A and B are shown apart, each in its own frame.
Chain A
Amino acid sequence: AQRVTQPEKLLSVFKGAPVELKCNYSYSGSPELFWYVQYSRQRLQLLLRHISRESIKGFTADLNKGETSFHLKKPFAQEEDSAMYYCALSGRGGYQKVTFGIGTKLQVIP
């Protein structure tokens, strides 16, 4: 079974402070990990995926297979980062479903 755990439903940080949104996963094989974001009144959209190893909008995420984690980080939070963030997982090989976590609401306080 595949499972994604986001332990925090709400994370409040001040503008300019570092952000870390936690994601832990359970999967028996090699996973593909994603972070999706939903801004207010907008659709769910991809933020980043681990195989791309990119930094998007200043966010990065590193897959730690030993700790089965894929935490999302940003060194300095901006007000426009306020949104719902969902961690998601699928197996490799193409024909795999995607499992989402319950999401963390990030609130950046001006």
Chain B
Amino acid sequence: DTGVSQDPRHKITKRGQNVTFRCDPISEHNRLYWYRQTLGQGPEFLTYFQNEAQLEKSRLLSDRFSAERPKGSFSTLEIQRTEQGDSAMYLCASSLGGLTTYEQYFGPGTRLTVT
């Protein structure tokens, strides 16, 4: 296992198009997080999963955003009708889950540019 992977690493799209990002977590991790990071900011929480269940969703996540984690393995984040304000780095992280918050292992991120 080489750690958390994300695909694609870079995506350029035109405003109004739909995009989908994929995250493959560390295999034994049952918790998976999505964050968005813009220049000069820290990672902003978007949503997270415990196995296949989506436990919390940020108010930042408008109706245009949807995330899934079928079978509790990889996850996808889809943005519909992209806007220029969606341009950001999208980070995925995974961790063990339990009665405490464990160390998160981050992927390299997907940089989205909306033109």
Contacts and interface: CB of A to CB of B under 8 A. Distances in A.
B74 interface: no
Nearest to B4: A43
A32 B101 contact: yes
A101 B42 contact: yes
Contact of A95 (B33, B55, B91): B55
B41 to A, nearest CB: 5
Interface in B71-108: 91, 93, 97-101, 103-108
Given A49-B103, A95-B50, A98-B33, A86 B43 contact: yes
A107 to B, nearest CB: 16
What band does the interface of chain B fall in when counting residues whose beta carbon is under 8 Å from A? Answer: 20 to 34
Contacts of A49: 103
21 contacts: A4-B42, A6-B42, A32-B101, A36-B104, A43-B109, A44-B43, A44-B91, A45-B105, A86-B43, A92-B100, A92-B101, A94-B98, A94-B99, A94-B100, A94-B101, A97-B45, A97-B56, A97-B58, A98-B33, A100-B42, A100-B43
Interface of A: 4, 6, 9, 32, 34, 36, 43-46, 49, 51, 86, 88, 90, 92-103
A22 to B, nearest CB: 14
A2 B58 CA distance: 13
A100 B36 CA distance: 11
B48 interface: yes
B28 interface: no
Nearest to A87: B42
A31 B33 CA distance: 19
B56 A98 contact: no
